[in-house]
């Protein structure tokens, strides 16, 4: 159960981050006068001179050969929209003016120093990483769901046995845990409401369940002994705790065996 919650939490976080990164990637990047523009062109039909001619309206800062074509670094100091035809594709670049984009209330003095733009990170890497995490956690969740469907619902007895096997007799609250396991078993199997009730209230509640009538004396005796150990403050040895735990398991096993005979 805890593992499933962790997987669901990871899936939810991955989905939220994935949506966030998609929003970042989907944002339109405005290009202003003087901005450096990196363009990767995949073509083997044009020479370097042809590419330079295609982008003659721009200042070509750098051009590099790649395995698939060319990698260009451009910039322009003229505003407006420019369209370049490469094979059957059109590259449309719009250069905006910073003076039109920024409202100025006062005169700014020019700065002749160079401006550092800091570290530039490619958000597409995060996008692909989150897709991978989301797919992996999704596949794990789907596999666990299909596995649970094949195995079917877990019976109240199996849940009881697993919880009882995990009880440590060294714990101070081991009697509380034993009682809780019995209550959970009876509630799950017979749809009765006994959590938080006393020994007498529990017996009164389950007395109306016909199949439990032969075992009510044993259940009552066990609950009374457990309450005695819990509330009197007497010293209880590990052997006594073990004996009480064994009696609890035997009572539940008798109930299960009787149920199987009836079926």
Residue 180, pLDDT score: 94
Residue 152, pLDDT score: 59
Residue 135, pLDDT score: 80
Where do the domains of the chain lie? 2-99+120-130, 156-262
Q: Which residues of 150-189 are buried (b: 16+ CB within 10 A; e: fewer)?
A: eeeeeebbeebbeebeebebeeeebbebbbebbbbbbbeb
Residue 184, pLDDT score: 93
DSSP letters spanning the chain: -HHHHHHHHHHHHHHHHHHHHHHHHHS---EETT--EEEEEE-SS--HHHHHHHTTTSEEEEEEE-SSEEEEEEE-SS-EEEEEEETTEEEEEEEE-HHHHS--SS------S---------HHHHHHHHHHHHHHHHHHHHHHHHHHHHH-PPPHHHHHHHHHHT--TTSTTHHHHHHHHHHHHHHHHH----TT--HHHHHHHHTT-GGGGGGHHHHHHHHHHHHHHHHS-----HHHHHHHHHHHHHHHHHHHHHHHHH-
What's the gap between Cα 141 and its chain centre? 10
Rounded to an integer, what distance in angstroms lies between the CA atom of residue 247 and that of residue 228? 15
**Spans in the chain with pLDDT lower than 70:** 1-29, 99-124, 148-153, 259-263
Predicted confidence (pLDDT) per residue in 126-144, tens digit: 777 777 787 887 778 777 7
pTM exceeds 0.75 for this model: no
């Amino acid at each position: 159960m805890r593992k499933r919650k962790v997987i669901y939490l990871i899936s939810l976080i991955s989905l939220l981050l994935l949506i966030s990164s998609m929003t970042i990637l989907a944002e339109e990047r405005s290009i202003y006068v003087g901005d450096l523009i990196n363009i990767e062109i995949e073509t083997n039909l044009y020479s370097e001179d042809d590419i330079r001619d295609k982008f003659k309206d721009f200042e070509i800062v750098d051009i590099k050969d790649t395995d698939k074509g060319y990698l260009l670094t451009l910039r322009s100091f003229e505003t407006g929209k420019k369209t370049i035809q490469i094979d059957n594709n059109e590259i449309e670049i719009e250069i905006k003016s910073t003076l039109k984009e920024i409202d100025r209330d006062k005169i700014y003095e020019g700065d002749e120093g160079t401006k550092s733009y800091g570290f530039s990170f490619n958000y597409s890497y995060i996008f692909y990483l989150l897709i991978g995490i989301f797919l992996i956690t999704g596949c794990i969740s789907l596999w666990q769901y299909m596995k649970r469907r094949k195995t079917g619902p877990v019976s109240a007895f199996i849940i009881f046995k697993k919880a009882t096997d995990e009880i440590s007799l060294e714990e101070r609250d081991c009697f509380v845990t034993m009682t809780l396991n019995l209550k959970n078993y009876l509630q799950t199997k017979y749809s009765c409401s006994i959590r938080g009730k006393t020994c007498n209230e529990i017996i009164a509640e389950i007395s109306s369940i016909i199949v439990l009538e032969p075992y009510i004396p044993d259940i009552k005796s066990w609950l009374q002994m457990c309450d005695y150990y819990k509330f009197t403050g007497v010293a209880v040895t590990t052997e006594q705790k073990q004996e009480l735990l064994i009696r609890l398991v035997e009572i539940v096993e008798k109930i299960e065996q009787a149920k199987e005979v009836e079926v």
